[in-house]
């Protein structure tokens, strides 16, 4: 956060928005799983209360492979925070919610974003070591800038 404050100024709207998003994430109630079967856990929470889920953080202690069909996030229209670390998926996501404010997905499994993904409120966008094509990222930010004019 200090690096962002130095770069954009402590009182800038961007830094304030980032700080607000981080505080929201820190205050969200969550569940902690100790098992290695994240795919079943994701399916379970998607079925139980997908309209209430606002944040998901997948960061197992050792690398995990998740077998899924890619449509789990379709039901999570209010998902605002998605962090995926140390996890690889068997297929690309078919859907990502447009309300996402923070997308941090290490090794994102596709070279493109879902066609209907238009995150107008995205604040943090990090797809390190992903298969994403540079032109896809440029298109996303071009669309974001056009929507904010």
Q: Mean pLDDT across the stretch 118-141? A: 81
3 — pLDDT class (breaks 50, 70, 90):
low
Average pLDDT, the chain: 78
Q: Do 59 and 3 share a structural domain?
A: no
Higher-pLDDT residue of 57 and 131 is 57
Spatial distance between the Cα atoms of 131 and 105, rounded to a whole number of angstroms: 11
pLDDT, mean of residues 81-101: 92
Claim to verify: residue 72 and residue 133 sit in the same structural domain = yes
Residue 26 sits in the same domain as residue 56: no
Decide which of 134 and 32 is more confident.
134
Tell me how crowded residue 118 is: count the other CB atoms within 10 A of its CB.
Answer: 14
Residue 19 sits in the same domain as residue 79: no
Residues 16 and 82 occupy one common structural domain: no
48 pLDDT above the threshold of 60: yes
Range of the domain at 9: 1-30
Residue 93 has pLDDT above 90, yes or no: yes
Residues 135 and 68 in one domain: yes
| CB 66, CB 90: distance < 8 Å | yes
- Which pLDDT score is estimated for 149? 43
Task: Give the closest residue to 55 by CA, choosing from 97, 1, 113.
Answer: 97
When pLDDT is averaged across residues 108-136 and rounded to a whole number, the result is 85
Q: Give yes or no for residue 140 having a pLDDT over 80.
A: no
Split into its structural domains, the chain has a count of 2
SS3 56: strand
- Clarify whether residues 23 and 93 are in a common domain: no
* H or E element, residue 14: helix 13-27
Whether 102 and 125 share a structural domain: yes
In 28-104, where does DSSP find H-type helix? 38-49
Q: Are residues 15 and 40 in the same domain?
A: no
Of 15-29, 48-62, 109-123, 129-143, minimum mean pLDDT range:
15-29
Give the predicted TM-score (pTM) of the model: 0.66
Do 81 and 113 belong together in one domain?
Answer: yes
Question: Are 117 and 45 in a shared domain?
Answer: yes
Mean pLDDT computed over 45-72: 81
Same domain, 4 and 48: no
The residues, ordered by sequence, that sit 6+ positions from 62 with a Cβ below 8 Å of its Cβ are: 86
């Amino acid at each position: 956060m200090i690096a962002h404050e130095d770069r954009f100024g402590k009182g800038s709207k961007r830094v304030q928005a980032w700080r607000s998003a981080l505080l929201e994430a820190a205050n969200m109630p969550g569940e902690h799983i100790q098992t290695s079967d994240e795919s079943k856990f994701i399916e379970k929470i998607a079925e139980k209360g997908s309209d209430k889920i606002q944040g998901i953080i997948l960061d197992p202690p050792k690398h995990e492979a998740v077998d899924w069909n890619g449509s789990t996030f379709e039901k999570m229209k209010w998902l605002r925070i998605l962090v995926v670390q140390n996890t690889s998926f068997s297929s690309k996501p078919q859907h990502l919610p447009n309300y996402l404010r923070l997308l941090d997905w290490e090794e994102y499994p596709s070279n493109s974003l879902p066609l209907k993904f238009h995150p107008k409120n995205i604040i943090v966008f990090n797809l390190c070591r992903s298969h994403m094509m540079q032109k896809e990222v440029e298109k996303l930010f071009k669309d974001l800038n056009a929507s904010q004019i």
